[in-house]
A and B are shown apart, each in its own frame.
Chain A
Amino acid sequence: MFETLGPALLGGAVIGVTLAVLALLTGRVVSGSRMIGSLLGGPEGPAASSMAFIAGLFIAPIVLIAFGYLKQVPAEAGLPLIAVGGVLVGIGARLGGSSLFGGIGGLARGSRQVLPGMFAMLLGVALASVLVFALGAGGFT
Chain B
Amino acid sequence: MIRLVALACGFFCGIGLTVSGLYRPAALQNFLNPADIWDPTLGLALIAAVIVAAIVLALTRRHSPPLLGGKMEPVAVESGWKPMIGGVLFGLGWGLAGYFPLAAFVSLGHFAPGAAVFLASVLGGMIVCDVFAKRGQPRHGGGRSRG
Mark A residues whose CB is within 8 Å of B.
1, 4-5, 7-37, 39-46, 48-65, 69-70, 72-77, 79, 81-102, 104-111, 113-114, 116-129, 131-132, 138, 140-141
Contact = CB atoms under 8 A, between A and B. Distances in A.
A132 B130 CA distance: 28
Nearest to A43: B77
A61 B14 contact: yes
Contacts of B23: 61, 74
8 contacts: A39-B142, A74-B112, A75-B26, A87-B122, A87-B128, A89-B125, A97-B83, A108-B50
A122 B98 CA distance: 14
Nearest to B141: A40
Interface residues of B, number: 122
Contacts of B45: 8-9, 11-12, 15
Q: Which one of B90, B110, B128 has the highest number of Cβ atoms from chain A below 10 Å of its Cβ?
A: B90
B3 A48 contact: yes
Contacts of A132: 95-96
B7 A95 contact: no
B97 A138 contact: no
A20 B121 CA distance: 29
Contacts of B124: 86-87, 90
